[in-house]
Structure 1
């Protein structure tokens, strides 16, 4: 029965969370975070299997791909500016990939993580499908990777912009690249609400980071374990 009302309930919870956020903007009241927590609580209280919920929200899942493609619109509008800053974008994204790899495989082991856990965290800053594929190639735990990707996106969307402002980063292009490299589509969608130029740079950064991560991380991993 729940399978037929899963989509309406999900949309209702999301729009309620959006309304709450509009009344009191706060990182802790991020609409995505509130919706996820509300859905977890609903499934637990009603003892509903996740597989049933997933089946009921297949329509929402189907719209994720065109939603991601829609992020290309501000990118196209800022194409001339992006071309002039392409070297800056590529350098930043390449650095982001190496930082992510270093944190996963050199810093996390110092905190007690094994190789499988580290591999699961390596792609957390790129979009979910690519991060899961990277995790699979590195023998990581794909489900853990998916959870961490969502977590990274929520953190970036919630506190990314306030944190950059606290660090006195004012250039919209730099803000966009930082958000795109660190918190993929969720961060990009959020920053797009604030500034179109930053959103365009965030869009291209998340794309470049995803491509570079998919190409470079398996090579670095093989070099690491040899």
Structure 2
């Protein structure tokens, strides 16, 4: 029952977003909001909903692998621009962690919360594992990842339009570095070329974040 409702809700939300065409509308945001409202209204525990949708969790793994196809389509350009792409992704990952951590500190966050903020721009598995290793709150990290992805997916293309950013590499890396898989999904809906570089940035920034997060956190602690 809940699996069918989830699929119908997502398809309906996607159709609504396409019909209205507003850049700030996102099918995931609409779908999740509706499902949460239904669960609260019917007093259904999340564990029951999760068990009914376990199949979707299994399908996420091959779905992520499919993201490699756009990368393959741009492979020749990626090889030519390898240094540029690696450098941009490395700096993007470092800046994302530093900016998030320092902003959290300036707002009075304690160290465990700052750790949780560091990994907001990578996928949930990487974020939770990295946060756990640094003694942060993995659950908070997962929520922040969702918020970062949603905000990035909703605002990326309006910002590109406002700033007249048209380069496929610039757009793709920006989305992948800031909004991980949710941003990449939005790029797939807009332009396959953007999605290629977004998928690549998603993977590279995840790697750089996992490797560099301890050093960045140590630097932030020194600043404090």
TM-score (ref. length: structure 2): 0.94
- Give the unaligned 5+ runs of structure 1: none
Q: Which residue of 1 aligns with 2:116?
A: 120
- Give the unaligned 5+ runs of structure 2: none
> How many residues are matched?
222
The offset of 1:225, in angstroms, is: 4.2
The offset of 1:193, in angstroms, is: 2.1
Q: Which residue of 2 aligns with 1:81?
A: 77
Q: Which residue of 1 aligns with 2:39?
A: 43
Is structure 2 residue 68 aligned with structure 1 residue 72?
A: yes
Q: How does 1:4-153 map to 2 (within 5 A)?
A: 5-153=1-149
Find the aligned partners of 1:223 and 1:184 in 2 and give their Cα distance. 24
Find the aligned partners of 1:32 and 1:181 in 2 and give their Cα distance. 19
Is structure 2 residue 156 aligned with structure 1 residue 154?
A: no
The offset of 1:60, in angstroms, is: 0.6
C-alpha contact (below 8 Å) 1:17/1:29 kept by paired residues:
no
RMSD of equivalent CA atoms: 1.4
C-alpha contact (below 8 Å) 1:105/1:115 kept by paired residues:
no
C-alpha contact (below 8 Å) 2:98/2:220 kept by paired residues:
no
C-alpha contact (below 8 Å) 2:115/2:135 kept by paired residues:
yes
Q: Which residue of 2 aligns with 1:167?
A: 163
Find the aligned partners of 2:4 and 2:122 in 1 and give their Cα distance. 29
The Cα offsets for residues 124-175 of structure 1, whole Å up to 9 and x where unpaired, read as 1111111111111121111111111111111122121111221121111110
Find the aligned partners of 1:162 and 1:29 in 2 and give their Cα distance. 12
Is structure 2 residue 185 aligned with structure 1 residue 211?
A: no
Quick one: higher RCO (CA 8 Å, sep 6+), 1 or 2?
2
C-alpha contact (below 8 Å) 2:98/2:216 kept by paired residues:
no
